[in-house]
A and B are shown apart, each in its own frame.
Chain A
Amino acid sequence: MATIRATGDALSAPAQPLAAEYPVWRTRLLFGLSVVTFLSMFVMLYMAFFYAGTDAVQGHVQRLFYVHVSSYAGGSVAFFITVIAGAAYLFTHNAKWDRLAVSSVEIGLPLMTVCLVTGSAWARPIWNTWWTADPRLNSMAVMWLMYAAYLTLRGAIEDPDRRARFAAVYGIIAFASVIYVFLIPRVRDDTLHPVVIGPSVANPTAQGEFEVRTDPRIGATMGVAMVWWCMAAVVLTWHRVRLENTAARLQALKARLLAKQG
């Protein structure tokens, strides 16, 4: 049985049981990407603090946008992986896609938390409130809760196949909330939230816009931050799914040992 042999192979090297079953090049690629992501974080922070100028109207707090907007982009990438993995599971019924789906939600959720927290810290001096009942903010909170519920509800279903099917459908439907959050300041005229990239045409009452398109330094910093957070989402999801794969193999080994004892 391939699964059991793979588990045995993984366990035959206790020093590296988590990487033993993967091709070496893939492990090296992940390691390389992890190092690049870690080091480029300092480039991103340097650009945010020293390269991009201080916004004349908003002051230093505007620098939070380099994290706020791009962590949303990173979270969206993670949740989009959930959609792909969910669809792949529904077509193939291969459990590896379910493991990828849950891994990407577990990484996307903290990224979206970063977006929420930095947005709140920015709103306090700019809007004079940590939080307000604004369509954009409320829809973001609903989206966050939907993905938190994804993890909770998964834990409530015991049958693995049923759980995976439910999670796949839920993950695909939940992505509508990500799109909705993106679109809302572009289509509604009653939100305070600025569009950030592009003018707030639909809502002229938006407060807190800045020149991301016309100032090359701000634009470059935002671009680097976007790439960094998307890369971080992919790298962390990759690490997380490896752990999930290892946990599945250990579960199979446990079952085999129990069967032997029985």
Chain B
Amino acid sequence: MEASTPSNIEYMILGYVAAGIIMALTVAYLVLKARRLRQEAELLKRLEDDQEQ
């Protein structure tokens, strides 16, 4: 008797969704870190200007 191809598409979807979430979190981490550094840079710039005045 010939074996049929198993139906396991839900595990494929699970794996791809999990991979997508991990990569999205990684990119979000970079974006948030960049935003925080930008805010910090602006704050320090203002402090530096105040000191110069």
For residue A118, CB closer than 8 A to chain B, the reply is: yes
Asked whether A110 lies within 8 Å of B25 as measured between CB atoms, the reply is yes
For residue A18, CB closer than 8 A to chain B, the reply is: yes
CB distance from A244 to the nearest CB of B (A): 9
Q: Could you say which residues of chain B place their CB within 8 Å of the CB of A254? A: 44
Asked whether A18 lies within 8 Å of B8 as measured between CB atoms, the reply is no
Asked whether B51 lies within 8 Å of A257 as measured between CB atoms, the reply is yes
For residue A184, CB closer than 8 A to chain B, the reply is: no
Q: Which of A54, A61, A232, A236 meets B11, CB within 8 Å?
A: A61
- Size band of the A side of the interface? 35 or more
Name the prevailing secondary structure of the B interface residues.
Answer: helix
If the complex has contacts A60-B8, A250-B41, are A257 and B15 also in contact, measured as CB distance less than 8 A? no
Within 8 A of B (CB), among A20-34: none
Q: Could you say which residues of chain A place their CB within 8 Å of the CB of B23? A: 110, 114, 232
Q: Which of B9, B18, B25, B44 meets A257, CB within 8 Å?
A: B44
With an 8 Å Cβ cutoff, the count of chain B residues facing the other chain is 31
If the complex has contacts A11-B48, A14-B45, A253-B48, are A122 and B22 also in contact, measured as CB distance less than 8 A? no
Bound Cα distance from A10 to B42, whole angstroms? 10
For residue A125, CB closer than 8 A to chain B, the reply is: yes
The residue in chain B whose Cβ has the minimal distance to the Cβ of A110 is B26
Bound Cα distance from A40 to B37, whole angstroms? 29
Give per-residue flags for A87-119: 1 if the beta carbon is below 8 A from chain B beta carbons, else 0: 000000000000000000001001001100110
- Apart from A54-B5, A121-B11, 5 more pairs, CB < 8 Å: A17-B42, A60-B12, A63-B16, A240-B30, A246-B41
Asked whether B19 lies within 8 Å of A118 as measured between CB atoms, the reply is yes
Bound Cα distance from A121 to B25, whole angstroms? 19
The residue in chain A whose Cβ has the minimal distance to the Cβ of B44 is A253
7 pairs across A/B with beta carbons < 8 Å?
A18-B41, A56-B5, A61-B15, A67-B19, A243-B34, A247-B37, A257-B48
Within 8 A of A (CB), among B26-51: 26-27, 30, 33-34, 37-38, 40-42, 44-45, 47-48, 51
Asked whether A117 lies within 8 Å of B22 as measured between CB atoms, the reply is yes
Q: Which of B7, B15, B40, B47 meets A67, CB within 8 Å?
A: B15
Bound Cα distance from A10 to B45, whole angstroms? 10
Q: Could you say which residues of chain B place their CB within 8 Å of the CB of A260? A: 51
Asked whether B6 lies within 8 Å of A59 as measured between CB atoms, the reply is yes
CB distance from A166 to the nearest CB of B (A): 23
For residue B1, CB closer than 8 A to chain A, the reply is: no
Asked whether B38 lies within 8 Å of A17 as measured between CB atoms, the reply is yes
Asked whether A117 lies within 8 Å of B19 as measured between CB atoms, the reply is yes
Bound Cα distance from A247 to B34, whole angstroms? 9
If the complex has contacts A107-B26, A260-B51, are A17 and B41 also in contact, measured as CB distance less than 8 A? yes
The residue in chain B whose Cβ has the minimal distance to the Cβ of A15 is B38
If the complex has contacts A59-B7, A114-B19, A117-B22, are A18 and B44 also in contact, measured as CB distance less than 8 A? no
